[in-house]
Amino acid sequence: MASENSKNILVSKEELDKQKEYSSLVRMVIQTRFGNRTPMAFVHTFGCQGNVADSERLKGMLEEMGFGFVDSPEDADISLFNTCAIREHAEDRLFGNVGALKKIKEKNSDFKIVLCGCMMQQEHVAQRIKNSYPFVDIVFGTHVAHKLPELLYRSLSTGKRVFDVGDSDGVIAENLPLHRDSNFKAWLPIMYGCNNFCSYCIVPYVRGRERSRSSEVIIAEAKELVKNGYKEITLLGQNVNSYGNDREGEMNFSSLLRQINAIDGDFIIRFMTSHPKDCTHELLDTMAECEKVAKHLHLPVQCGNDRVLKEMNRGYTSEKYLSLLTYARSVMPDLSVTSDIIVGFPGETYDEFCDTLKLMEKAEYTSLYTFIFSPREGTRAAKMDDPVTREEKGKWFSELCGLQESIAAKRTAGMLGKEYRVLCESKAKKDGIISGRTQGNIIIEFPADDSVIGTFQTVKVTEALIWMLKGELSNS
């Protein structure tokens, strides 16, 4: 049963019906404007898979309004950028991209430019667009994405700029139209927002508080995906391990995994991201016992020094983290573990950074997402003393990447000659070669026909590179 609280954050049926009406109005306007030609939208997504999943809903709404999709803004009638605010350079990149759209607008005044997503929740960004980018038509934040039809209608009918970037603890909008990018791999958001306030991170400020979708809705969506032939379902949330905590009487993440695992069909389940502070033995046992759950754990450690971990507000020590991995590998000997690491958190010394290297040697990650600390306005870490130069941090970063390379190379070398069940995903750059991924999330390329795309195949590893494998289809 949903608690009162979770009912209140659900976008009401009346509101969603209103958006459907706006959607029809937009359809009418564009029919008058474009006649028989289908208007085209270019949608570009920055940031994490959560944003990719949001974009699939934005595309769903655009499709319902009558738009088709193109791969370049030059061919489009509307360009929409779904933005990310996680690091500073994201801002420079976005404004570079937006600047380039100005030329299109000069040639075609009907061309609409829409900016949405996490970065738009930052006041200084919305302000900068207001003041310096007058050719941007619509700007909206993460909490009103379901209102795209209304915002677009306002822009089309008045020709005026539309801004909707208010702050909020967040809502859940169910039953939005959905345009999925793949017909065999699906993103399935199970919760939105974050309550953790890691001191460096902007996400809780731009995404609001943790809110879990109802397990009933999630399981129904998973069943529908399996029925439609999807082979991989990735459950998404900033911290999936705290799934359900905000909904009275809701099941926890382990139970949700078991329920999805019980759906009949040949598919695999992935999830991200797991926060180590909420990663329990129950979850690791569940992973081990559920045959459809990929034996891959993305468990971001961020750094290996306890003082820095405390300053980051992560809620665990390096020892606690490593003991989780030891347990995880005791129940899943083939487990592939990946992680995120931030180099050069304010005040981190070289000695403290070396603790991260030591932890990496023990953790034996398959791969790492590494970032140099980037100050985000409004976060606690952005105000901390940061004496180490960018150049110095760059050297640490290279040292870390070098170490990870040797760890990864050792891991992939150990896979040589073995067979793995692989989901075939796409054509590789070279003709006649298919690219797929093992359960452990390692890319493997092998000669095969395009017809294998979207199917599981057994592939034998014939060559181990550092970050990827090469192989051949096994006939057995």
Cis peptide bond upstream of 273, omega within 30: yes
Judged by CB under 6 A, the number of residues near ligand SAH is 17
Structural contact between residues 293 and 287, judged by C-beta atoms closer than 8 angstroms = yes
CB of 162 to ligand F3S, least distance (A): 21
Degrees, nearest 5: CA angle 285-234-272: 65
Say whether residue 238 binds ligand SAH (CB under 6 A). yes
The residue assigned the tokens 């999943």 is 53
| Strand order from edge to edge, sheet including 296-298 | 296-298, 336-343, 367-372
Interface residues for ligand SF4 in 424-443 (CB under 6 A)?
none
Say whether residue 50 binds ligand F3S (CB under 6 A). yes
Nearer of residues 203 and 469 to ligand SAH, judged by Cβ: 203
User: Pick from ligand F3S, ligand SAH, ligand SF4, none: which does 84 bind, CB < 5 to 8 A by kind?
Assistant: ligand F3S
Residue choice 51, 273, 286, 438 for contact with ligand SAH (CB under 6 A): 273
Looking at the DSSP bridge assignments, the partners of residue 429 are none
Say whether residue 173 binds ligand SF4 (CB under 6 A). no
d(CA 404, CA 50): 27
CB of 341 to ligand SAH, least distance (A): 6
CB of 251 to ligand SF4, least distance (A): 21
User: Pick from ligand SAH, ligand SF4, ligand F3S, none: which does 47 bind, CB < 5 to 8 A by kind?
Assistant: ligand F3S
Nearer of residues 25 and 48 to ligand SAH, judged by Cβ: 48
DSSP for 408-472, please give it. Answer: HHHHHHTTTT-EEEEEEEEE-SSTTEEEEEETT--EEEEE--GGGTTSEEEEEEEEE-SSEEEEE
Phi, psi of 452 (to 5 degrees): -80, -15
| Strand order from edge to edge, sheet including 268-272 | 185-189, 232-236, 268-272
**What is the token pair recorded at 104?**
């299109």
Say whether residue 252 binds ligand F3S (CB under 6 A). no
Say whether residue 121 binds ligand SF4 (CB under 6 A). no
Residue choice 141, 300, 346, 471 for contact with ligand SAH (CB under 6 A): 300
Say whether residue 444 binds ligand F3S (CB under 6 A). no
CA-based nearest residue to 209, from 349, 344, 8: 8
Residue choice 55, 238, 242, 404 for contact with ligand SF4 (CB under 6 A): 238
Say whether residue 340 binds ligand SAH (CB under 6 A). yes
Q: Contact positions toward ligand SF4, by CB under 6 A?
A: 194, 196-198, 201, 203-204, 238-239, 275
